[in-house]
A and B are shown apart, each in its own frame.
Chain A
Amino acid sequence: GDKVKQSPSALSLQEGTNSALRCNFSIAATTVQWFLQNPRGSLMNLFYLVPGTKENGRLKSAFDSKESYSTLHIRDAQLEDSGTYFCAAEAGGYNVLYFGSGTKLTVEP
């Protein structure tokens, strides 16, 4: 089965609103990374997390290793936030990241 389950698969937001994306892990994840794939296809790293939370501007991410999930919160969504968001988890020491299937976010005016 899927090692990383990501939800929702697609999401549409009005500009200025808030939302949250979630990943659940069936592996013993020790670190999590979140990526944004822009409409041109480029993948950009947003966060690298050990258990805990990080914030960067309007984005905030949390990783709970005991409950095996991670979340990405988007506050005050802007048009440029549109794209596909991926989470990826690494199980301790193996240097391999397993990806979720992505959340396609569309921010509308």
Chain B
Amino acid sequence: EAAVTQSPRNKVTVTGGNVTLSCRQTNSHNYMYWYRQDTGHGLRLIHYSYGAGNLQIGDVPDGYKATRTTQEDFFLLLELASPSQTSLYFCASKQGNSGNTLYFGEGSRLIVV
């Protein structure tokens, strides 16, 4: 079973604050993703990457930056957090060549007050 680890698991920050969510996968997967989950919307894709140094824009990228520093590590950055970014964030990974199973981390709950 693929291992995807997120940190922190819970975070509270103030409006305008700076937050970094971290994700590490140890299965040499090419693709890594950041999703946010909100009631009524399911999971929406923020950013994704197909390898170190690569970044692709998802469906809801505004207010978020991301960086893939290594094959294993993918970071989501909120430089000026807003209350609308209060959400449950999931990192996921899968091997390339479309059609492989997507594996999720345990989620990071962010509250912006």
Q: Which residues of A contact B (CB under 8 A)?
A: 4, 6, 30-31, 33, 35, 41-43, 45, 48, 50, 86, 88, 90, 92-102
Contacts and interface: CB of A to CB of B under 8 A. Distances in A.
Interface in B11-36: 31, 33, 35
19 contacts: A31-B99, A41-B107, A42-B104, A42-B106, A43-B107, A48-B100, A48-B101, A88-B43, A92-B98, A95-B48, A95-B94, A95-B96, A96-B48, A97-B33, A97-B45, A97-B102, A99-B35, A99-B43, A101-B42
Interface string B84-102: 0000101000101011111
B42 A6 contact: yes
Contacts of B107: 41-43
Interface of B: 31, 33, 35, 40-45, 48, 50, 58, 88, 90, 94, 96, 98-104, 106-107
A45 B102 contact: yes
Contact of B42 (A48, A90, A100): A100
Contact of A48 (B35, B45, B50, B99): B99
A97 B90 CA distance: 13
A41 B88 contact: yes
B90 A45 contact: no
A101 B40 contact: yes
A96 B45 CA distance: 9
B104 to A, nearest CB: 4
Nearest to B97: A95
The 8 A-B pairs of least Cβ separation, nearest first, read: A101-B42, A43-B104, A99-B43, A99-B42, A31-B99, A48-B101, A95-B98, A93-B98
B98 A31 contact: yes
Contacts of B40: 101
Nearest to A31: B99
Contacts of A33: 101-102
B88 A101 contact: no
A6 B88 CA distance: 20
Given A41-B88, A41-B106, 6 more contacts: A6-B42, A33-B102, A95-B31, A95-B50, A97-B45, A98-B45
